[in-house]
Amino acid sequence: MIRFQRIGRSNAPAFRIVLLEKARAAKAGGITELLGTYNPKSKALTLDEARVKAWIAKGAQPTGSIHNLLVSKGIIEGKKINVLPKKTSQKKEDAPAAPASASAAEAVSAPTEAEIAAETAAAAEESPAEVPAAEEAPEETPAA
């Protein structure tokens, strides 16, 4: 895997671009090969392009951030990857998920209408049984 390894002080980030096994942590230091460096504040990039292309050809997977950096510098071809985390709502139970398309909206609304029709039919069947019970209730109340 080709990934960043952070070096530098607090509030002064600098990164090595290293090749290491995917299971190893970037901070462990056991890197296979140092491919370059990157300073995000000054945007300074030093990179061994031939070695990066060779490792990618051998099957090394760059992380999303490295992939985007290589695409913007023109080293590899392709689209950039969205590496930002997905937004999640604070209240998952209260807010239903928005449908992705109009057909999904119709699919969601169709069962709801069927459920409403079933509930009204069930309520219509129960209401005659409830009406005599309501009429009997005043007769059963004891007089004080």
Indicate the pLDDT class of residue 112, thresholds 50, 70 and 90: low
Reported CATH class of domain 2-72:
alpha beta
Q: Tell me how far the alpha carbon of residue 46 is from its chain's centroid.
A: 32
Q: Which residue from 84, 80, 73 is spatially nearest to 38, judged by alpha carbons?
A: 73
Instruction: Name every residue whose Cβ is closer than 8 Å to that of residue 69 and which is 6 or more positions away in sequence.
Output: 38, 45
Say which residue the tokens 């504040």 belong to: 41
Question: In which band, very low, low, confident or very high, does the pLDDT at 68 lie, cut at 50, 70 and 90?
Answer: very high
Cβ neighbour number for residue 25 with a 10 Å cutoff: 9
Per-residue pLDDT averaged across 14-19, rounded?
A: 93
pTM over 0.75: no
Encode pLDDT of 32-52 as tens digits.
899 999 999 999 999 999 999
Q: Answer whether 65's CB lies under 8 Å from 82's CB.
A: no
The amino acid sitting at 17 is I
Q: Does 129 have pLDDT greater than 50?
A: no
Please tell me the predicted confidence (pLDDT) of residue 120: 60
- Of residues 23 and 9, which shows the higher confidence score? 9
What does the alpha-carbon distance between residue 83 and residue 66 come to, in Å, rounded to a whole number? 10
For the chain, the domains span 2-72, 105-135
